[in-house]
Amino acid sequence: MDVWFTFGALLAHVLAMSAWVGGLAFFNWIVYPAVASLPVGDHRRALGALGSPAILVLRLATYGSIVFGAASGIALRRTDELVTFQTRWGWTIVVGASVAMLT
């Protein structure tokens, strides 16, 4: 396949994964403890204001990582590794895609 397509798919996959993991870490370790320190009545309002845009970004990052990961796997011809599990990449792809779909 075209080298630039492969490079673009890999770059988009890495950026989407970084946004996904970074977004989850940001909310788990910064936003939720900060919201927990607010008065009880303000919890719902604060999480409502932050949650909707964050869920959209995290969903787009998750779907992007799956789509661009699949595209880069096809471009690099790693689909046979996924089916046969002869290398570590087959298991890595299955575990990564499963975790991305579950979150």
What is the predicted pLDDT for the residue at 14?
A: 92
What is the predicted pLDDT for the residue at 19?
A: 92
pLDDT interval class at 15 (50, 70, 90): very high
Helix residue spans in the chain (DSSP H): 3-26, 32-36, 42-75, 79-84, 88-102
Phi and psi angles of residue 26, each rounded to the nearest 5 degrees, phi first? -60, -45
Number of alpha carbons in the 13 Å side-chain half-sphere of residue 94: 12
Does position 1 have pLDDT exceeding 60, yes or no? no
pTM above 0.85, yes or no: no
Give the span between the Cα atoms of 3 and 34, in whole angstroms.
Answer: 45
CA angle, 60 as apex, 6 and 66 as ends, to 5°? 45
What is the predicted pLDDT for the residue at 50?
A: 83
Q: What is the largest CA-CA distance in the chain?
A: 56
pLDDT in tens, 23-44: 889 988 988 888 888 888 888 8
As given in the structure block, the two tokens for residue 12 are: 């988009």
Does position 16 have pLDDT exceeding 60, yes or no? yes
